[in-house]
C-alpha cells in the first residue's frame, strides 16, 4: 500500500525540519521519496505531521505490571471501555490491561513502546503480554545488575565472562538492552536491607559502583545498540542528587561504541533531590541540569510527577517498602531468585503536599533547564510519576509559562520556597517537544535509522495532530494542546493506518526487537561462563537450565538485531 | 522397541510445577515416569481418558464427532443470555487467552477454580497487598518456614524437598539443619509430622491467631488471653520470637485459610502480619496454589481484562465483583442459563445447590478426563493433555512462567483448537461482528 500525506506542517528534528509545509510518502512499511498514484491520499490541511512517538521507558507488560492489575481492581474500574468492532474490552487508569495500553498509546500517536524492566526468570511473562499488546513495536530491557552472575564477575573483574553472560542472557530472555535498578540494593533487599553506591553488597565484596562500571564497559565491548539504562541508587531519598552525579561520573571514562551516550539515566526527577529529610526536601534539578549540560556521555528521561492516584512499581524493592512505611497503603513485593526483585504500592500525589508538589516541579524543571532536547526524553516512568496519558498536559506545561503560572496557584507554597519552577521563563518549542518524544529517544535507544524520523528508509510510523502550527500559539492556547495531543487525526504504524479521527482502525501485531550479541567479544569466555552458569542452575535456581531460555514460540513477531564485535 | 527418555519435563499437576521430570516413551506411548511424585506420575501416565466427543440424548451419552460437539456447543453459547465459562486451571495460558476472547465475544461470565480455592487470597491481596518472592528465594535464604493451613506432604509432595525444607541453598548449605519448620493446622497432618514444631489450632480461629501474633509483635502481649484458638499464649510468644529473630521467613498459606471462617479476612490479617514483620526482618508469604496453572489463569485474565477471576462481560467491558460474579453465587441465584466447564471439576467441588442448577442448564464439559462433572454434562469434548500432549505456558505458584513440554503425539484436539473452533462458529452464528 502507498500513502501520500499532503499539506502537512512537518516537524522532523532528525532531519532538521522545523515546521515546514511538505508532503510525506509511504510505500509499504517505509517512508519513501515519493509515490506515484498513491492508494490513499491524506490531506493534512496544514496540520502538524510528526514521526510516531517513541516511548523509551514505560512499565506496560510483565510480572510486576500484572501484579499491579491484580492488586488494584479499583484502578481497573477507572478505565472501562466496552469492546468494539475491532477493539477488545479496556480497563485501567494507571495499570491498564494490555489492550487499553496499546489503543491509548496509538491514539496519542505513539508507535514504539519499550518495557523498562524485565526480570530474566519472568521474561516469558513479559513476552506473553507483548503478544496481547497490539499495534506498537516493542522491546524489553532485561534486569542484570542484582544478578549473582553479574555481581560475581564485577567482583572478580572478569569482564570477558561478564560479556559472555550478558550475551547469553540477552538471547535467552529476548531482551533489547541492559537495565540496572538500584544495583546491589535489590540484592540487599533479599535480607531486608539496601545499599548506596559505595556500600559493599551484603554477601558479596563489591560495591554498586563497580557493578555499574562493569556493565557499562561490557555494554560497549559488545557494541549493543542502547547504552546501559540505569535507575540509580537511592531513588526517592532526600539529598540523592549527589549519588546521581556520582553515578554519572563513574562511567565518564568509558568510550561509547557508537554515536550515543554511555549511560542513560532514567526517571531523573526521582533522583534530583536535595535536603536531608522530608522537612527540608528541595529541588536539585539545577545541579543535575548543570551536569548534563556540561557533559555528553549521559542522557536522561524525566519521570515527571503529575497529581493523581497512580501505582508505583519498580524492581527497587527496598524503595517501595520505604514508600509503604510512609503511606501504609497496600504493598506487594516479589523478589526473584538470583536476579532481582520488585515492589508495588499505590501512591496519590497531592498538590497540597509539599514534597509531592516539589516532585512535580522537579520533573518540569529538568526539561526546562537542560538546554539540549536531544539529551532528554519525555517520560513519566509510567505509571510511577503518573500514567502516560498525562503527556499532553505535561507538554502544555513545558510549552506555556501561562499554564505553569495557573497551576502554581493550586500547589503547595513549598514549591515557591524549595523549587525553581516559578523562576524559569523558558517555553519549549514544538521542535523541542518532538525531539524529546521521537528523535531523541530513538537515538538514545540506538534506533535512529528506523525510528523517530520521517526520513526515507525509516519505518513508516507517523502521527497527525489536529493542530495548525502556523496559526497556533502554544504559549497561550495550552488547553488545545491538552485536548489535541490525546487523539491523533491519523496514526500510521508501519505504513498501516491504525487510528483515524481518534478511533482505532486496525490492530496489527507490533514487532518485538531483541538483540543477539555475537562475535569474539561475546564468545571468547563463553565456555568458562557456561560452567559457572550451570553451577548456578544446579545449586541455586529452582528452574532447570534447559527450561530457562525464552523459546521462539514467545516471539512470533520478533526481530533479531545481531551485533558483532570481534 | 525404542525407548526414549524425555528430560526436564514439566509436571502438569500441582502449583509446584516441577520441571525435572523424566518421561520414558516407548513406541509413542508413555511407559514410565521418573522423579515425579505419585500424583504427578499418575497424571503424566494418564488414566480415565474420555474416549470420544459425546452428546447426551435421552439421558444417555452418544459418541459423536468433534464437528458435532463444536456445532452444538457454539449454538448453546451463541443463544445463551447468561453463559458461564468456568475452570481454566489445568490447562495452558494459550487456551486461557482464547477463552477470554470467547467470553468477550458472547458477553459471558468467565471464572476460574480460584473462585473456590485461592480466590479469597486474591481478595485479601486486593485489600492488603502481596509481600512475596519466588521459591528460589526460600531455597537460598529462608531459615524459618511456616506452613499454615496446608499439607504439602500430601497435596504438593515435592514442595519441601525442592523449595523449602530439605533443599540446600546458597545461604542454607545444610538444608534441613539450617531451617526451622512450623506447621499450623487443625489436625496433625503428614506435614506436621515432619516439621520441627506442630501447633494445633482450633478450626476457624486463624484470624484470631494472626491478631494475637500481631498484638504480641506490637509489644502488647499483656492483652493477649492465655489461649487463643486452643494455642497457648506462650507458644504464640515463642512463634513471634522465632519470626522476629529469623533472617528470612516465609508463610505458605493454604486452603485452611481461604475456605474457613473469615476467608479473605484471614488473608488480610496474615498479609498484615507479614508486612509488619518486615520492620524487623525479611518476611514473605506465598499461597500454595493447587492446580498447576491456576496461577496462570489469574495472570492471563488480569493482563487481558484487568482482573484475575470472576469477570462478567455482559456489559461489553470487564466487570469484576466477587460475591456477585463468582460461579457459585451465580449458580445459586439460578442466573446462569448455560455453562462450560473446562479444565476444572465443578461436579466434584461445588455445593449441591449449585449442582442442582447445573443439572438443569446446558452444560458443556471440555476436559481430557472423565470426572464427576461428566455425570452432569450434556456435551463432552475430550481434549489433549496440556503438558504431556501439548506444550504451552504455565505459571508456578510463585509466578514463574515455565513452558511445559509435549512428550507424545495425540489424536485429540487441543483445548485451544476446540475453543478457536467454537469461537469461529459462534461468530458465524451471530452474523459476523
A101-151, pLDDT tens digit by residue?
999 999 999 999 999 999 999 999 999 999 999 999 999 999 999 999 999
Tell me what pLDDT residue B297 has: 98
Pairwise CA distance, residues A465 & B41, whole Å: 60
Tell me what pLDDT residue B433 has: 47
Interface test with A, best of B112, B143, B162, B302 (most A CBs within 10 A): B302
List, in sequence order, the alpha helices (H) in A370-474: 391-399, 401-408, 414-418, 430-434, 440-445
User: Does the global pTM surpass 0.95?
Assistant: yes
Residues of B in contact with A540 (CB under 8 A): 136, 139-140, 169-170
DSSP B145: E
Residues of B in contact with A65 (CB under 8 A): 303
- Tell me phi and psi for residue B149, to 5 degrees: 65, 30
> Could you read off the pLDDT of B78-108 as tens digits, one per residue?
999 999 999 999 999 999 999 999 999 999 9
pLDDT bracket for residue B47 (50, 70, 90): confident
- Kindly identify which residue of chain A lies nearest to residue B102, measuring between CA atoms: A88
End-to-end CA distance of chain B: 53
> Which H or E run contains A301?
strand A298-301
**pLDDT at residue B1 greater than cutoff 80:** no
**pLDDT at residue B53 greater than cutoff 70:** yes
Residues of A in contact with B131 (CB under 8 A): 331-333
Same topology for domains B49-113+292-429 and B119-287, yes or no? no
Residue found under cell 524425555:
B6
Pairwise CA distance, residues B28 & B408, whole Å: 6
Class assignment of domain B119-287?
A: alpha beta
**Taking CB atoms and an 8 Å limit, are A336 and B133 in contact across chains?**
yes
Residue found under cell 497432618:
B189
**Taking CB atoms and an 8 Å limit, are A70 and B126 in contact across chains?**
yes
Evaluate whether B190 touches B156 at the Cβ level (below 8 Å): no
Pairwise CA distance, residues A450 & A494, whole Å: 10
Tell me what pLDDT residue B432 has: 60
**Taking CB atoms and an 8 Å limit, are B320 and A190 in contact across chains?**
no
B136 CB within 8 Å of a chain A CB: yes
Q: What is the overall mean pLDDT for chain B?
A: 97
- The residue-averaged pLDDT of B395-401 equals 98
**Taking CB atoms and an 8 Å limit, are A91 and B275 in contact across chains?**
no
User: How do B109-112 and B311-312 pair as beta strands?
Assistant: antiparallel
Tell me what pLDDT residue B431 has: 83
Tell me what pLDDT residue B2 has: 79
pLDDT bracket for residue B265 (50, 70, 90): very high
**Taking CB atoms and an 8 Å limit, are A330 and B134 in contact across chains?**
no
> What are the CA-CA distances from residue A457 to residues A15, A36, A435, A452, B291 (Å)?
13, 17, 19, 12, 50
β partners of residue A562: A516
CATH number for the region B49-113+292-429 comes to 3.40.50.740
Evaluate whether A344 touches A324 at the Cβ level (below 8 Å): no
Q: Using CB atoms within 10 A of its CB, is residue A351 exposed (0-12), middle (13-18) or buried (19+)?
A: middle
Q: Using CB atoms within 10 A of its CB, is residue A283 exposed (0-12), middle (13-18) or buried (19+)?
A: buried
Positions in chain A short of pLDDT 50:
none
Which residues fall within 8 angstroms of residue B75, CB to CB, at 6 or more apart?
B429
Q: Where are the domains of chain B?
A: 3-43, 49-113+292-429, 119-287
> What are the CA-CA distances from residue B254 to residues A20, A334, B287, B309 (Å)?
65, 19, 6, 18
- The residue-averaged pLDDT of B210-235 equals 98
Which residues fall within 8 angstroms of residue A424, CB to CB, at 6 or more apart?
A365, A368, A369
Amino acid at each position: 500500500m502507498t500513502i501520500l500525506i499532503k499539506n502537512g506542517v512537518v516537524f522532523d528534528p532528525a532531519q532538521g525540519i522545523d515546521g515546514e509545509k511538505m508532503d510525506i510518502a509511504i510505500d509499504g512499511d517505509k517512508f519513501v521519496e515519493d509515490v506515484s498514484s498513491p492508494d490513499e491520499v491524506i490531506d493534512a490541511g496544514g496540520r502538524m505531521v510528526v514521526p510516531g512517538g517513541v516511548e523509551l521507558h514505560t512499565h506496560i507488560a510483565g510480572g510486576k505490571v500484572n501484579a499491579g492489575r491484580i492488586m488494584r481492581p479499583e484502578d481497573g474500574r477507572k478505565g472501562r471501555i466496552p469492546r468494539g468492532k475491532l477493539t477488545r474490552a479496556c480497563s485501567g487508569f494507571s495499570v491498564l490491561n494490555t489492550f487499553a495500553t496499546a489503543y491509548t498509546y496509538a491514539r496519542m500517536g505513539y508507535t514504539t513502546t519499550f518495557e523498562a524492566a524485565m526480570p530474566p526468570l519472568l521474561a516469558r511473562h513479559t513476552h506473553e503480554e507483548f503478544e496481547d499488546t497490539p499495534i506498537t513495536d516493542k522491546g524489553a530491557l532485561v534486569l542484570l545488575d542484582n544478578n549473582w552472575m553479574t555481581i560475581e564477575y564485577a567482583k572478580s573483574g572478569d569482564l570477558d565472562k561478564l560479556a559472555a553472560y550478558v550475551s547469553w542472557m540477552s538471547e535467552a530472555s529476548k531482551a533489547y538492552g541492559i537495565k540496572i535498578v538500584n544495583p546491589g540494593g535489590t540484592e540487599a533487599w533479599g535480607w531486608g536491607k539496601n545499599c548506596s553506591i559505595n556500600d559493599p553488597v551484603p554477601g558479596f565484596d563489591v560495591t554498586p559502583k563497580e557493578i555499574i562500571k562493569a556493565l557499562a564497559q561490557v555494554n560497549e565491548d559488545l557494541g549493543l545498540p542502547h547504552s546501559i539504562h540505569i535507575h540509580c541508587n537511592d531513588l526517592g531519598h532526600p539529598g540523592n542528587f549527589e549519588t546521581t552525579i556520582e553515578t554519572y561520573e563513574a562511567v565518564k571514562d568509558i568510550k561509547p561504541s557508537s554515536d550515543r551516550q554511555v549511560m542513560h539515566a532514567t526517571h531523573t526527577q526521582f533522583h534530583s533531590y536535595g535536603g536531608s529529610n522530608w522537612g527540608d526536601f528541595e529541588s536539585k534539578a539545577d545541579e543535575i541540569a548543570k551536569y548534563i549540560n556540561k557533559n555528553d556521555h549521559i542522557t536522561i528521561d524525566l519521570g515527571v510527577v503529575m497529581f493523581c492516584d497512580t501505582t508505583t512499581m519498580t524492581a527497587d524493592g527496598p524503595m517501595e517498602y520505604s514508600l509503604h512505611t510512609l503511606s501504609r497503603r497496600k504493598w506487594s513485593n516479589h523478589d526473584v531468585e538470583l536476579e532481582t526483585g520488585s515492589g508495588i504500592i499505590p501512591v496519590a500525589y497531592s498538590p497540597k503536599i509539599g514534597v509531592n508538589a516539589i516532585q512535580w516541579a522537579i520533573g518540569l524543571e529538568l526539561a526546562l533547564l537542560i538546554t539540549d532536547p536531544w539529551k532528554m526524553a519525555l517520560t513519566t516512568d509510567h505509571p510511577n510519576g503518573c500514567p502516560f496519558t498525562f503527556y499532553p498536559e505535561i507538554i502544555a506545561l513545558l510549552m506555556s509559562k501561562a499554564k505553569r503560572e495557573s497551576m502554581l496557584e493550586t500547589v503547595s507554597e513549598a514549591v515557591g520556597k524549595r523549587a525553581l519552577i516559578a523562576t524559569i521563563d523558558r517555553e519549549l518549542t514544538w521542535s523541542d517537544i518532538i525531539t524529546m518524544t521521537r528523535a531523541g529517544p530513538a537515538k538514545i535507544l540506538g534506533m535512529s535509522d528506523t525510528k523517530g524520523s520521517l526520513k526515507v528508509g525509516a519505518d513508516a510510523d507517523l502521527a497527525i495532530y489536529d493542530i495548525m502550527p502556523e496559526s497556533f500559539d502554544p504559549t497561550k492556547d495550552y488547553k488545545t494542546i491538552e485536548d489535541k495531543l490525546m487523539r491523533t487525526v491519523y496514526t500510521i504504524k508501519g505504513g498501516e493506518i491504525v487510528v483515524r479521527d481518534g478511533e482505532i482502525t486496525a490492530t496489527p501485531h507490533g514487532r518485538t526487537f531483541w538483540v543477539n550479541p555475537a562475535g569474539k567479544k561475546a564468545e571468547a569466555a563463553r565456555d568458562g561462563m557456561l560452567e559457572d552458569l550451570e553451577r548456578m542452575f544446579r545449586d541455586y535456581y529452582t528452574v532447570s537450565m534447559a527450561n530457562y531460555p525464552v523459546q521462539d514460540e514467545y516471539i512470533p513477531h520478533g526481530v533479531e538485531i545481531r551485533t558483532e564485535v570481534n | 522397541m525404542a525407548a526414549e527418555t524425555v528430560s526436564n519435563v514439566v509436571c502438569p499437576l500441582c502449583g509446584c510445577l516441577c520441571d525435572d521430570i523424566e518421561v520414558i516413551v516407548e513406541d509413542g506411548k508413555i511407559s514410565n515416569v521418573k522423579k515425579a511424585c505419585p500424583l504427578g506420575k499418575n497424571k503424566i501416565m494418564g488414566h480415565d481418558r474420555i474416549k470420544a466427543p459425546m452428546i447426551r440424548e435421552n439421558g444417555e451419552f452418544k459418541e459423536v464427532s468433534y464437528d458435532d460437539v463444536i456445532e452444538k456447543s457454539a449454538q448453546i453459547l451463541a443463544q445463551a443470555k447468561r453463559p458461564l465459562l468456568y475452570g481454566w486451571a489445568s490447562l495452558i495460558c494459550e487456551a486461557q487467552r482464547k477463552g477470554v476472547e470467547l467470553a468477550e465475544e458472547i458477553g459471558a461470565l468467565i471464572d476460574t477454580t480460584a473462585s473456590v480455592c485461592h480466590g479469597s487470597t486474591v481478595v485479601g491481596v486486593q485489600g492488603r497487598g502481596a509481600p512475596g518472592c519466588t521459591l528460589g528465594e526460600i531455597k537460598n535464604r529462608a531459615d524459618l518456614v511456616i506452613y499454615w493451613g496446608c499439607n504439602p506432604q500430601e497435596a504438593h509432595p515435592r514442595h519441601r524437598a525442592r523449595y523449602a525444607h530439605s533443599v540446600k541453598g546458597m545461604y542454607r548449605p545444610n538444608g534441613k539443619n539450617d531451617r526451622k519448620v512450623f506447621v499450623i493446622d487443625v489436625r496433625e497432618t503428614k506435614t506436621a509430622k515432619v516439621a520441627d514444631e506442630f501447633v494445633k489450632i482450633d478450626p476457624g480461629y486463624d484470624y484470631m491467631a494472626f491478631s494475637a501474633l500481631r498484638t504480641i509483635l506490637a509489644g502488647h502481649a499483656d492483652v493477649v488471653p492465655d489461649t487463643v484458638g486452643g494455642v497457648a499464649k506462650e507458644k504464640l510468644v515463642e512463634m513471634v520470637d522465632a519470626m522476629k529473630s529469623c533472617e528470612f521467613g516465609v508463610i505458605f498459606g493454604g486452603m485452611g485459610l481461604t475456605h474457613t471462617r473469615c476467608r479473605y479476612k484471614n488473608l488480610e490479617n496474615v498479609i498484615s502480619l507479614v508486612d509488619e514483620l518486615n520492620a524487623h526482618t525479611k518476611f514473605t508469604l506465598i499461597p500454595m496454589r493447587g492446580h498447576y496453572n491456576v496461577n496462570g489463569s489469574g495472570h492471563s485474565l488480569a493482563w487481558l481484562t484487568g482482573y484475575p477471576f470472576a469477570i462478567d462481560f455482559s456489559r461489553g467491558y470487564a466487570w469484576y465483583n466477587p460475591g456477585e460474579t463468582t460461579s457459585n453465587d451465580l449458580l445459586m441465584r439460578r442466573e446462569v442459563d448455560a455453562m462450560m466447564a473446562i479444565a476444572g471439576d465443578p461436579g466434584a467441588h461445588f455445593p449441591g445447590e449449585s449442582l442442582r442448577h447445573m443439572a438443569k442448564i446446558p452444560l458443556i464439559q471440555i476436559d481430557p478426563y472423565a470426572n464427576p462433572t461428566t455425570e452432569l454434562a450434556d456435551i463432552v469434548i475430550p481434549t489433549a493433555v496440556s503438558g504431556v500432549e501439548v506444550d504451552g505456558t504455565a505459571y508456578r505458584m510463585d509466578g514463574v512462567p515455565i513452558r511445559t513440554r509435549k512428550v507424545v503425539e495425540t489424536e485429540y484436539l487441543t483445548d485451544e483448537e476446540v475453543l478457536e473452533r467454537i469461537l469461529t462458529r459462534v461468530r458465524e452464528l451471530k452474523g459476523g461482528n
